[in-house]
Structure 1
Amino acid sequence: MEQDISIRTERFTLRPLTPADGDQVVLLLDDFEVARWLTVVPHPYTHADYDRFLGYLAGTNPLGGLAIDDGTEVLGVVGIDPTLGYWLGRKHHGKGVMPEAAAGLIAHVFATTDLDQIGSGHFPDNQASRAVLTGLGFRDTGETETAHCVSRKCDEVLIKLRLSRADWEARQ
């Protein structure tokens, strides 16, 4: 497995999460306004939850959850395993962080793997996430699925989108 990943974008380094990132991640993710848009993240979010996530990452795709590091702190997490997932601490919203970080990861995946398409999704009311995805070139599939939102303790519609390698390359 590719454990010494370091993907550079203009402003950020995407790198594996470490135990030392725990305090920062817990602080950012223990915010209901962040957790409410995610499927598997509980609220409140604790150090035990973070440790479980690190354990999960250790046994799966190393690109499944990378820290978005600006050189001073972790701003959020982005990963592809096999779908694109991400979250960003609320204080970092609206600054172009996620489009840049996700584009860096997508470029890396298409350059280093034979993956032909990447899926993702968002809850209907999460227009910020939809804007990130469509801005990256993801297109609606016309499909939805029911996903359980752990933080809100409910089932929710997940609108599915997809980005093909051909669409990505045409935009570059």
Structure 2
Amino acid sequence: MSPYSRILFVVASSVALATAMAPARAQEAEPVELNEAENAFAKAMAGATLVGSFTLGEANPDEPPQLHVERYELGDVHKLPNGQWQMQTRIRYGDKDLKLPLMVPVEWVGANGPHPTPVVVIDNLFFPGAGTYSARVLFHEGHYAGHWSSKEHGGVLFGKILKAKEKP
């Protein structure tokens, strides 16, 4: 399995695992009341497309890492009663086109300050058949950036958040 295929497998497996582990009633529950920062995050992400790049593997200090294109189309985005966020996603690559609900924990940097910043935080999460992964992805002013890793490899990711009206 190529490294790129492995990453795509990890994404698909994580979505399936998160969906299977979530209680059915949490997905059907009434919307959770959001504070101002959470409301802004939900509005910014709902219907948005994340378009950017990621690196794979450990970079050779003498050569820059190669970039790979990534694209995630989001539908409904909302916070669940268990504190996690559910995002309806469409992931397209090659001849694959997957529509899946993704559940992720979101923490807030500077939560008590004037500009709280959302960060998706995944720590040593096991994905059957793929391994254990960790990631931090920060969202700020229409952009995202972060780091992901496993025992075998890792990389960085970054890109722009296109609002629904900005899509071609």
TM-score by length of 1: 0.33
Kindly name which structure, 1 or 2, has the bigger radius of gyration based on alpha carbons: 2
Higher helix proportion = 1
